[in-house]
């Protein structure tokens, strides 16, 4: 018996990496899954991979209007939600001296406002009980040069997991966060840096990972599954580090 049998789940940023791996795992565990993504091509590719039982929607979490449209579609298709994984996010390293208004706005719009929009628009659909998992990062636990704005937006997400837990527990909604470390996902190809610069930066960060390797997106997905399922029914407001020991060893 799957741990998510007869349950419905929405995964934002579900077309690649951690989001897609989580969608596939949720399906294996019995859930009916919906995903969102910004790029129409990647949405179509993910839809083909997940099959006809999945719902793949193009939507930008930074737009409340687009997330409201997602909520209406899910109401029609699913009738309600048991799990929300607010996973969509972007990482764009930049020295603080080079941070401009566009960079600041984009990271805040996607990484923080996008989580708020996702929770707000899906709140009327969340059943009792339900689980909300927010994607943060291990970088909130230590200082990483060039990642100040990204880390700050993710620290805000971790804070939301605590405060929303206190606010929504009376509705039977559990809220937790997962904080991945260095993971082999396509996000590194979206940094806006030359491939050689990405490789050098990743190798520098990898030197600080006690496990001496990158994580895999399916390893993060398993942690999300734990927080989404009844296995974590007594876990509330927690931040689960899945980082090869970066923040604790």
Question: Tens digits of per-residue pLDDT, 152-210?
Answer: 999 999 999 999 999 999 999 999 999 999 998 665 555 556 677 767 767 787 888 99
Catalytic residue (choose from 78, 150, 188, 226): 150
* pTM of the predicted structure, to 2 decimals: 0.94
What is the C-alpha to C-alpha distance for residues 108 and 89, in angstroms, rounded to an integer? 10
Residues in the chain: 249
What CA–CA distances, in Å, run from 212 to 108, 185, 231, 245, 246?
A: 31, 17, 29, 10, 10
Nearest to 19 by CA among 38, 3, 6: 38
Q: Is 150 a catalytic residue?
A: yes
Chain mean position to CA 36: 11
Q: Break the chain into its structural domains and give their ranges.
A: 8-242
Mean pLDDT of all residues in 25-43: 98
What is the C-alpha to C-alpha distance for residues 161 and 164, in angstroms, rounded to an integer? 5
What CATH class does 8-242 carry?
Answer: alpha beta
Q: Give 197's contacts (C-beta < 8 A, 6+ positions apart).
A: none
């Amino acid at each position: 018996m799957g741990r998510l049998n007869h349950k419905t789940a929405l995964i934002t940023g579900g077309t690649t990496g951690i989001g897609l791996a989580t969608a596939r795992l949720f399906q294996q565990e019995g859930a009916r899954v919906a995903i969102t993504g910004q790029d129409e091509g990647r949405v179509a590719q993910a839809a083909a991979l997940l099959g006809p039982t999945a719902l793949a929607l193009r939507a930008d979490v930074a737009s409340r209007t687009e997330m409201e449209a997602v909520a209406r579609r899910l109401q029609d298709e699913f009738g309600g939600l048991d799990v929300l994984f607010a996973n969509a996010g972007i990482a764009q390293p930049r020295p603080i001296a080079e941070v401009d208004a566009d960079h600041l706005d984009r990271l805040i719009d996607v990484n923080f406002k996008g989580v708020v929009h996702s929770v707000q628009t899906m709140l009327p659909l969340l059943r009792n009980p339900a689980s909300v998992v927010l994607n943060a990062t291990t970088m909130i636990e230590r200082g990483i040069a060039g990642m100040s704005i990204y880390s700050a937006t993710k620290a805000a997400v971790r804070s939301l997991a605590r405060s929303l837990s206190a606010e929504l527990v009376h509705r039977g909604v559990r809220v937790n966060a997962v904080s991945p470390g260095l993971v082999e996902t396509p996000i590194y190809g979206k940094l806006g840096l030359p491939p050689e610069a990405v490789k050098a930066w990743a190798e520098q960060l990898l030197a600080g990972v006690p496990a001496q390797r990158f994580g895999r997106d399916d390893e993060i997905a398993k942690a999300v599954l734990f927080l989404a399922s009844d296995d974590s029914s007594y876990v509330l407001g927690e931040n689960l580090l899945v980082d090869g020991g970066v923040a604790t060893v």
